[in-house]
Structures are given as structure tokens and as C-alpha cells.
Amino acid sequence: MRLDKYLKVSRLIKRRTLAKEVSDQGRITINGHVAKASSTVNVDDELVIRLGRSIITVKVTDLKEHATKDNAKGMFEVIKEEKIEATF
């Protein structure tokens, strides 16, 4: 499944266009490699997503073409979530 579609269906990112922008900016890695929106996501892949001041590391546990709100939570497992402190 494409990365941008996975991020939207799993509800990690609300809109597919935003998922495409974030991934094309190089702010998402799959298993340590910078990913583009068209990159393929597989079960057991590890995604590191940088959104604002947060870095979220998740493990892909399931791939679904469509998911309800409750089913979407089962598509990934949060491994680590970090907040980056602002230094001014």
C-alpha cells in the first residue's frame, strides 16, 4: 500500500494531501530510509514521522484499504513518541 494512503486510512495523518506533503518533504522514514508518498508500506515496517515538534515511531501491524475509526487503531502500534523542546 502507498505510504500516503496508509497514513490517511490509519488516521495517523488526517488528510491524504497532507500525508503526501509531509512525506515528500522527507519528514517520514520507513525502516531508516527516507520515504516518498509513493513508497510501499508493508506489515512489520517501522515508520518515524516528524510532525511539528513531535516525533512518532510506529510499527505497521495491519494493512486495510478502508478502516473505521476503531479498526484504524489496530493498523499500527506506537513504539515511541517524543516532544522536541523549543530552544530560543
Domain assignment of residue 11, yes or no: yes
The cell numbers describing 1, all together, are 500500500
Q: What is the pLDDT at residue 66?
A: 87
Domain assignment of residue 47, yes or no: yes
Q: What is the pLDDT at residue 50?
A: 93
Residue 84 has pLDDT above 90, yes or no: no
Count other Cβ atoms within 10 Å, centred on residue 61.
Answer: 14
Number of structural domains found in the chain: 1
Domain assignment of residue 78, yes or no: yes
* CATH number of the domain where residue 40 is located: 3.10.290.10
Q: What is the pTM of this model?
A: 0.86
Domain assignment of residue 56, yes or no: yes
Domain of residue 9: give its range.
3-83
Domain assignment of residue 88, yes or no: no
**Which residue type occupies 25?**
Q
Q: Do 21 and 55 meet the contact criterion of CB atoms below 8 Å apart?
A: no
